[in-house]
Amino acid sequence: MQLLLLANCTSPGHGYLEHALPEVLAFLHGVTEVTFVPFAGGDLDAYTASVRATLEPHGIAVRGLHEAADPVAAVASAQALFVGGGNTFRLLAALQRLGLIPVIRARVQNGLPYLGSSAGATITAPSIRTTNDMPIVQPESFDALGLVPFQINPHYVDTDTSGVNTGDSRESRLTEFLDENDVPVLGLREGTHLSVTSTLACALAVVGGGSANLLPAGPGILFERGRAPRNVAGDVSSLLVRRPRYDRPLMDAVS
């Protein structure tokens, strides 16, 4: 299995994917065509065109999955898959409606390179319960691809300690998730990524990327039930052997 999961696909002052382009091109080395999944966005043609404008100058053709007469067959024959960001509920609902979840899962587990940004990263978890998005549509369920056994929260924003923003923090919302579910959550700060390589012999997960202003905080932050959140960087492969346990309220666990 080969995953490159980006916290975001746009960054202030940069073009589409520009901040992560070296990592993306290295990940897609040898790939001549990418099948792009635009369903998290609204204007599917315009979204696909922006991806083409970024990748085709580097010799990588882009095929929009919405353009395929048979989306399932298109995924089955893809060289690589890029699932773009946008609204996670809309993305998951479309994949479920088109019957794409099983074929994507099977192909990626058998080695199809999977590039995902934002919502496209979120759905690699077993569930989308830790998305940041408004539920603008109702999917069949929150069950996602389950390519990794932990939750992902892209665009992670640290708690404002200045006292200016007194609303709910990302940390408080993820802590609420852990009250009800015994599943680690990996928060990815802007400009960062998670790469996962898994074979029969070994599995490796690495958090990296990000600009210097993230330091010393690090590119990622890990939330686990019963532990204080902690910043992480580099090897987080131990998360790949965790067993997620959903709908396990904390009060039940301590009673």
Give 81's strand partners: 35, 114
Q: Count CA atoms closer than 13 A to 1's CA, side-chain side.
A: 23
Residue 39: is it exposed, middle or buried by C-beta count within 10 angstroms (0-12/13-18/19+)? buried
For 55, the enclosing helix (H) or strand (E) is: helix 44-55
Alpha carbon distance 41, 44 (integer Å) = 6
- The tokens describing 34, both together, are 């990418």
Q: Which residues form the catalytic set?
A: 118, 133, 155
Give 235's strand partners: 206
For 37, the enclosing helix (H) or strand (E) is: strand 33-37
Interior angle at CA 188, CA 184 and CA 23, nearest 5: 125
